[in-house]
Amino acid sequence: MLDIVLDKLNGHATEGKVCKIHINVGDEIKLGDKICDIEGKKGSSTFNSNFSGIIESIEIGEGDTVRLGDVVAKIEGVEAAVTSEKTEQTKEVGGFNYFSSIMKPRKEEIECDIAILGGGPGGYVAAIQGAKLGAKVVLIEKENLGGTCLNRGCIPTKTLVRSAEVYENLLKAEDFGLYADNVSVNMRKVIARKDNVVDELRGGIGYILEKHGIRVIKAEGRLLDTKTLFAKEGNREITIKAKDIILATGSKAIKLPISGADSKNVITSDEALTMDTLPKKMIIIGGGIIGMEFAFIYSKFGVDVYVVEYFNSILANLDEDVIAEITAAARDNGIKLFTGSKVEEIIDGADNQSIVVFTKDGEKKYISADKVLMAVGRTPVFEGLDIEKLGIKSLENKKGIAVNEKLQTTVENIYAIGDLTNIIQLAHIASHQGVVAVKNIMGKELSMDYTVVPSAIFTHPEIATVGISEKDAEKQGLEIEVGKFPFAANGKALTYGERAGFVKLIKEKNTDIVLGGAVIGPHATDLIAEIALAVKNKLKIDQITETIHAHPTTAEAIHEGALALEGGSLHFVN
Ligand code: NAD
């Protein structure tokens, strides 16, 4: 590892204040790339790298005072440390000849206990868990750490949700006795804020991995045999020998196999999260979770949003009462919903518009818009891994890798976790699978249990569910009772100006055991944790009613929902 040393400042300055750091741990940087901006007495200057390679650690922080000679960062995997004045020379650093290293690839062999392919919430959590249990872990990731969740999914979407929410609150400031003039959206800044949040969290993951002594290889990895992986990082060819391997390569957004799907106005959630201008009108194909989260974000930003959904309702897996509530909220937000509608084709129209052609009740319909967001599902990514050659079985239609309850594939020492298994495509499932897989590798006997998985949907109002739904209970022929409490009767919800939605608790009729629940309303995605705890631990309704809930909180709605199953709520006439 080499030090990147501050060797130049503006004019004759010898010290300055770091105002912006352009690198993150794990970044691959090239000669001349920006390291940081430094404000000195004679103005600000940018300090550029003299090296190429992977940033292993950052030794400064924004706001720090730095002096010439200070170590700014540490770098590994250097390719060419040739400064403009030294182009004709080779440079020896630490006994290594960089110039010759450009010509000859460096070969490296690593032995480890667990090698993990993919650094998303499945892979990186598995890596940390493995290191905590004393395993020597290598993590291979070709892009940024954090996977879909951090870079193109959960976190970026939620920062947009938050910006949309703040904007909406400013627009209705008068309702709160406040005045805000000239409120407008600057999408470039909204996206920049999103990038900052993502950068900070990404840096955090790199830091934690480093502190656990986990070797992160920033390259595309492939399987050579059931105990060997290969990755080319810069000019370094790395062979990784591992006792056990975890595959965690995630999923990607799919597009419908229809004419016009690749037209330039058609985007997926990946592009939506970098789009720094707002279209006037947008058609969202798919009224599932991704489609509806974006529908609320864009409609709050003032975009004219149309959702075209194949099923007869949006978010069709939910119970009917929850669907009715979110459908009403979508309409109140100006979102136009076309359900029972199958998209057949997308045609390029005049004025840079795209026309979405769909069939509803046997009739062809046409809507045009300047952007079409396709949100019709995600598919596991494992092409190029040659899994069949090694005896690893995929699921039917190659929609994932088959695993047993211990997360082993059909090859004993190779595990698969996360979206790749296509069991439930959620970040928290991937992370939990990562922990279970690693503990099994380390000698425990754990099985995955998917019966108590909270789901969180960031529409407005938010929706969260856990355990069984009324629909599930009916399918399973269970005898249940349902207790509900509306947020319109909850003090805290009214202080927020949020009166829509309810809490619903489902108990087994004979045993009183809580089997599931749904929350639609303020803080739903946080409140679901209490119901998840109850379902997981088979608590009875009276164990919730006998628990004192703080006042005034939205959590009281759960208490009241439980009371509804025990002779009636106190603050609502059931
Ligand atoms: P999804 O499967 O939830 O929804 C896709 C929707 O597209 C479905 O309702 C389907 O009926 C519709 N559709 C498919 N073909 C169509 C056609 N020809 N015409 C009209 N409609 C059509 O998929 P998604 O919303 O893309 O999400 C992908 C995955 O990511 C899901 O598993 C989801 O759970 C997960 N995810 C979760 C969260 C969260 O938990 N907050 C957020 C984002 C994504």
The CATH number of whichever domain residue 491 belongs to comes to: 3.30.390.30
Please work out whether the CB of residue 250 comes within 6 Å of at least one atom of ligand 1.
no
Q: How far is CA 67 from the centre of its chain?
A: 38
The closest alpha carbon to 460, from 46, 168, 245, belongs to: 168
φ/ψ (deg, to 5) at 282: -135, 135
Residue nearest to atom 43 of ligand 1 (CA): 290
Is 424 contained in some domain?
yes
Does 155 sit in the ligand 1 pocket, CB within 6 Å?
Answer: no
Residue 91 lies in a domain: no
Any idea what DSSP says for residue 393?
Answer: P
What residue owns the CA closest to ligand 1's atom 38?
Answer: 289
Q: Any idea what the Cα angle at residue 401 is, between residues 398 and 407, rounded to 5°?
A: 165
Local structure of 202: helix, strand or coil: helix
Tens place of pLDDT per residue across the chain (574 aa): 788 888 878 777 778 888 889 998 888 888 888 898 898 877 788 898 878 888 888 888 888 888 888 889 888 866 544 333 333 333 434 444 444 444 467 899 999 999 999 999 999 999 999 999 999 999 999 999 999 999 999 999 999 999 999 999 999 999 999 999 999 999 999 999 999 999 999 999 999 999 999 999 999 999 999 999 999 998 899 999 999 999 999 999 999 999 999 999 999 999 999 999 999 999 999 999 999 999 999 999 999 999 999 999 999 999 999 999 999 999 999 999 999 999 999 999 999 999 999 999 999 999 999 999 999 999 999 988 989 999 999 998 889 999 999 999 999 999 999 999 999 999 999 999 999 999 999 999 999 999 999 999 999 999 999 999 999 999 999 999 999 999 999 999 999 999 999 999 999 999 999 999 999 999 999 999 999 999 999 999 999 999 999 999 999 999 999 999 999 999 999 8
Q: What's this model's pTM, rounded to 2 decimal places?
A: 0.84
Whether residue 573 is contained in a domain is answered as: no
Q: Which H helix or E strand runs over 191?
A: helix 187-211
Q: Give the closest residue (by CA) to ligand 1 atom 9.
A: 288
Ligand 1 contact, 372 CB (< 6 A): no
Structure-token match 């087994």, residue found: 508
Q: How far is the CA of 54 from the centre of ligand 1 (A)?
A: 36
**Is 167 inside any structural domain?**
yes
CATH for 21: 2.40.50.100
Please say which residue of 52, 86, 120 terminates a domain.
Answer: 86
DSSP letter assigned to residue 153: S
Q: Cα(318)–Cα(504) distance, rounded to whole angstroms?
A: 12
Please tell me whether residues 215 and 308 are part of one structural domain: no
Q: Helix, strand, or coil here: 429?
A: helix
Q: Whose CA is nearest to atom 18 of ligand 1?
A: 343
Ligand 1 mean position, distance from CA 101 (Å): 47
Is position 105 within any domain? no
- Do 353 and 292 share a structural domain? yes
**Residue 36 and residue 180 in one domain:** no
Q: Are residues 284 and 368 in the same domain?
A: yes
Tell me: do 246 and 119 sit in the same domain: yes
Do 117 and 242 belong to one domain? Answer: yes
CA of 83 to the centre of ligand 1 (A): 50
Same domain for 245 and 129, yes or no, is: yes
CA distance 467 to 538: 11
In this structure, are 176 and 197 located in the same domain? Answer: yes
Decide: residue 361, CB within 10 A, 0-12 exposed, 13-18 middle, 19+ buried. Answer: exposed
| Same domain (yes/no): 141, 247 | yes
Cα separation values, 308 from 65, 286, 296, 362, 507, Å = 55, 6, 14, 15, 35
Active-site residues, by number, are 551
**456 Cβ closer than 6 Å to some ligand 1 atom:** yes
Q: Alpha-carbon distance 153 to 221, whole Å?
A: 23
Q: Please tell me the distance from the alpha carbon of residue 210 to that of residue 127, in angstroms, as a whole number.
A: 11
Atom of ligand 1 nearest to the CA of 311: 11
Instruction: Classify residue 228: in a domain, yes or no.
Output: yes
CA distance 35 to 46: 7
Specify the number of domains making up the chain. 4
Shared-domain flag, residues 220 and 234: yes
Q: What is the CATH number of the domain that holds 289?
A: 3.50.50.60
Is residue 211 classed as helix, strand or coil in its secondary structure?
Answer: helix
Ligand 1 atom nearest the C-alpha of 314 is 9
Cβ of 252 less than 6 Å from ligand 1:
no
The domain in which residue 208 lies consists of 110-252+380-441
Last residue of a domain, one of 441, 466, 485: 441
Q: Strand 15-21 relative to strand 34-40: parallel, antiparallel, unpaired?
A: antiparallel
Say whether both 346 and 394 belong to one domain. no
Has residue 194 been placed in a domain? yes
Which residue spans within 260-409 are E strands per DSSP? 266-267, 281-285, 304-308, 336-338, 341-348, 354-360, 363-369, 371-374, 378-380
Q: How far is CA 213 from CA 59, 178, 240, 373, 497, in A?
A: 17, 51, 16, 41, 48
Helices 427-441 and 123-132 cross at an angle (nearest 10°) of: 30
Residues 270 and 351 in one domain: yes
- Give the nearest ligand 1 atom to 343 CA: 19
In a domain, 304, yes or no: yes
| CB of 455 shorter than 6 A to ligand 1 | yes
Tell me which of 53, 86, 119 is where a domain ends.
86
Counting from 1 in the atom list of ligand 1, the atom nearest the Cα of 424 is 32
